[in-house]
Amino acid sequence: MAILETQQVSVGYNRRLIIQDLSIQIPQGQITTLIGPNGSGKSTLIRTLAHLLKPSSGTVLLADQALATKTPKEMAQEMALLPQVGELTTDLSVFDLVSFGRLPYRQQFRPLSAVDKEKIEWAIERTGLNQFRDRFLSTLSGGQRQRAWIAMALAQDTDILILDEPTTYLDLTHQLEIMLLIQELNQIEDRTIIMALHDLNHAARFSDQLIALKNGQLQASGTVNEVMTRDNLRHIFNIDATLIEHDQRPLILTYDRWSEGEQDHDE
């Protein structure tokens, strides 16, 4: 069942289209990852699905209802967005950051309710940040800070979690830590996860569905095995990849540059 879908959506900036006539479906309860080269439209699509960008044409549907009919508060109670996280201009404690996830449920100037506090404490515990709850973000490692941002999104208490490059700027250990946490949120909490990733092996290992974009257009969609093929990688990323199977999923072992018109050395 598709929980979120686009129907012939076009969207761009300053009269320049980034995404053109895109129709995709996001299945409920699964991890769907957007892949594609730089400039392919992944972040633009993420912002469109989260209703931060309005399409110039086409429709985005959430549970068969057009996003355009929903208020920002209604949207914030149905899906949480974690954009690419940059440096903070002011320092916050972990608790203070996570508490921002309760804004869609609070009346202006009202203190945190008992339910708010319960959700905040649950999100902090779920992301393994209990011992850091009163620490300032600037004193944490990159992986710990990213977990704090994810905790903020969890405190928002939505069934859909959208993440734009959640492992950017992290080392390999912290990348794996974040990916395993995302997988747990899907498998244990039954949350629908939509994310954009650069790392194709992370996308293949941790996703149920892949959507591949290039130049703002859909190139392939389906299961990991359907999308992560040698031909697709050549066409979408201009790489000649050697794939291996791990846990019944294709992963990239090595790759080299490839251009249209080159003859396959295996042929």
pLDDT in tens, the chain (267 residues): 899 999 999 999 888 899 999 999 999 999 999 999 999 999 999 999 999 999 999 999 999 999 999 998 899 999 999 988 655 556 899 999 999 999 999 887 789 999 999 999 999 999 999 999 999 998 998 889 999 999 999 999 999 999 999 998 889 999 999 999 999 999 998 999 999 999 999 999 999 999 999 999 999 999 999 999 999 999 999 999 999 999 999 999 999 998 765 655 443
pTM of the predicted structure, to 2 decimals: 0.92
Give the CA angle between residues 211, 212, 216 to the nearest 5°.
110
Q: So what's the pLDDT on residue 109? A: 74
Q: How many CB atoms lie within 10 A of CB 38?
A: 7
**Domain for residue 127, yes or no?**
yes
Q: So what's the pLDDT on residue 266? A: 41
**Domain for residue 52, yes or no?**
no
Instruction: Give φ, ψ of 135 to 5 degrees.
Output: -85, 150
Full domain range(s) for residue 98: 81-157
Q: So what's the pLDDT on residue 1? A: 81
Alpha helix ranges (H) inside the chain: 42-49, 72-76, 94-99, 114-126, 142-155, 172-187, 200-206, 224-227, 230-237
In tens, the pLDDT along 232-266 reads 999 999 999 999 999 999 999 999 998 765 655 44
Radius of gyration of the chain (CA): 19
**Per this entry, what is the length of the chain?**
267
**Domain for residue 75, yes or no?**
no
The structure tokens 């490059």 sit at 165
Q: So what's the pLDDT on residue 267? A: 36
The structure tokens 């149905």 sit at 78
Write down the mean pLDDT value for the chain.
92
**Domain for residue 147, yes or no?**
yes
**Domain for residue 23, yes or no?**
no
Q: So what's the pLDDT on residue 110? A: 85
**Domain for residue 217, yes or no?**
no
- The count of domains in the chain is 1
Q: What would the two tokens of residue 139 be?
A: 């004193």
Q: Using CA of residue 7, residue 13, residue 17, residue 19, what is the dihedral sign?
A: negative
CB 18 within 8 A of CB 44: yes
**Domain for residue 89, yes or no?**
yes
Q: So what's the pLDDT on residue 87? A: 56
**Domain for residue 132, yes or no?**
yes
Question: Taking Cα atoms as reference points, which of 257, 237, 231, 233 lies closest to residue 37?
Answer: 237
